[in-house]
């Protein structure tokens, strides 16, 4: 893990070759190789299996301590700056059984305990394959492992109260504060994210906010102010705000997928501009990085 502090280790999503599609031939388990489409649909409905895009073992990213981050395929948003556009649709990944995933995560329990880390489910959108996410969170949390989800909040209503009991930390991505800007950035509506944030605040659930500064897209001072106003309603349970500069490292993936990448000529924001955005959040009394 590089310097042992901020390194990233990429883990193969299964032991076999990653393939496109969600039918026969996925994974290396003979049972899954022989699964029929009706059986697959039922297994997804019950959360017995899911399409997992990839894994990372990370430190100082995606929550506290050393994290096992599992990226699931599927997302209802179409963010213009998405750096994992291959997770948008249920086309790329490996089909994995919930029991196998839980066993893999539990193997790292001693690492999590020593570092204060745990499991983070990301994507894509972790609530897109909700039945699988629900089962993994419960089993891992019951095993005494810290759990987190990295979500836009758009599908937050899918989480039951008992599901929230199995989540120790929510990494909530607030893409924009102005409804029209949010729609332009994501193709979706802002209100579900606000509703989810209000729900988390009402129960005192620990939250880390993430906001990406994209020049010409999300960096307008009026939009930033509206994001800060929204997050400022949640000061009792938001532990930190992470203001992240845009990067276009996902450009090649967009091109490989034949998608129109509209930010090809957009440059990362200047450090002083990112710092100015952070100051807006700090005026709300929020710990901001």
Check pLDDT > 90 for residue 263: yes
User: Residues 96, 27: contact at Cβ < 8 Å?
Assistant: yes
- pLDDT tens digit sequence for 99-147: 999 999 999 999 999 999 999 999 999 999 999 999 999 999 999 999 9
Q: What is the model's pLDDT at position 19?
A: 31
* Domain range 44-284, CATH architecture: Alpha-Beta Barrel (3.20)
Bridge partners for 146 per DSSP: 118
**Average pLDDT of the residues in 237-242:** 98
C-alpha of 205 from chain center: 17
**Average pLDDT of the residues in 57-68:** 92
**Domain spans, the chain:** 44-284
Check pLDDT > 90 for residue 25: no
CB count within 10 Å of CB 281 equals 24
Check pLDDT > 90 for residue 2: no
Of residues 148 and 256, more confidence is placed in 148
Check pLDDT > 60 for residue 165: yes
Mean pLDDT of the chain: 88
- From CA 114, how far away is CA 138, in angstroms rounded? 21
Distances (CA, A) of 200 to 12, 169, 231: 33, 10, 12
Tokens representing 267? 């440059």
Q: Which helix (H) or strand (E) holds 255?
A: helix 251-256
Running DSSP on this structure, what letter comes out for residue 6? S
- pLDDT tens digit sequence for 171-230: 999 999 999 999 999 999 999 999 999 999 999 999 999 999 999 999 999 999 999 999
Check pLDDT > 90 for residue 89: no
Running DSSP on this structure, what letter comes out for residue 86? G
User: Residues 125, 152: contact at Cβ < 8 Å?
Assistant: yes
- pLDDT tens digit sequence for 213-233: 999 999 999 999 999 999 999
Check pLDDT > 80 for residue 8: no
Of residues 199 and 21, more confidence is placed in 199
Q: What is the model's pLDDT at position 12?
A: 41
CB count within 10 Å of CB 111 equals 16
Check pLDDT > 90 for residue 28: no
Share of the chain above pLDDT 90, in %: 77
Listed range (53-62, 71-80, 149-158) with the worst mean pLDDT = 53-62
**Average pLDDT of the residues in 34-41:** 71
Helices 130-142 and 98-106: angle between axes, nearest 10 degrees? 40
Nearest-10 Cα torsion for 20, 157, 154, 282: -130
DSSP 3-state of 66: strand
Q: What is the model's pLDDT at position 38?
A: 79
Confidence of residue 15 (pLDDT cuts 50, 70, 90): very low
Of residues 91 and 126, more confidence is placed in 126
- From CA 25, how far away is CA 30, in angstroms rounded? 9
Confidence of residue 91 (pLDDT cuts 50, 70, 90): confident
Distances (CA, A) of 96 to 22, 105, 166: 11, 13, 21
């Amino acid at each position: 893990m590089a310097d042992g502090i901020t390194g990233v280790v990429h883990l193969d999503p299964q032991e076999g070759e990653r393939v496109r599609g969600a039918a026969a031939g996925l994974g290396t388990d003979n049972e899954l190789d022989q699964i029929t489409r009706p059986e697959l649909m039922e297994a997804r409905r019950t959360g017995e299996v899911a399409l997992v895009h990839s894994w990372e073992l990370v430190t100082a990213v995606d929550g506290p301590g050393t994290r096992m981050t599992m990226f699931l395929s599927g997302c209802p948003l179409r963010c213009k700056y998405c750096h994992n556009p291959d997770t948008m649709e249920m086309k790329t990944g490996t089909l994995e059984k919930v029991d196998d995933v839980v066993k893999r995560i539990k193997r790292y329990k001693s690492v999590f305990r020593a570092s204060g880390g745990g499991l983070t489910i990301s994507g894509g959108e972790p609530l897109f394959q909700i039945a699988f996410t629900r089962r993994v969170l419960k089993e891992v949390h019951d095993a005494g492992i810290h759990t987190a989800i990295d979500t836009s909040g758009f599908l937050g209503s899918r989480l039951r109260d008992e599901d929230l009991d199995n989540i120790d930390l929510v990494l909530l991505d607030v893409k924009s504060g102005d409804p029209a800007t949010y729609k332009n950035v994501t193709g979706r509506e802002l209100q579900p994210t606000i509703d989810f944030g209000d729900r988390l605040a009402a129960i005192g659930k620990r939250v880390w906010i993430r906001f990406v500064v994209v020049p010409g897209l999300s960096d307008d001072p009026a939009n930033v102010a509206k994001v800060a106003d929204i997050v400022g309603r949640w000061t009792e349970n938001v532990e930190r705000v992470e203001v992240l500069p845009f990067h276009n490292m996902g450009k090649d993936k967009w091109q490989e997928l034949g998608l129109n990448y509209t930010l090809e000529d957009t440059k990362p924001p200047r450090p002083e501009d990112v710092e100015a955005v952070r100051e807006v959040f700090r005026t709300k009394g929020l710990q901001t990085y």
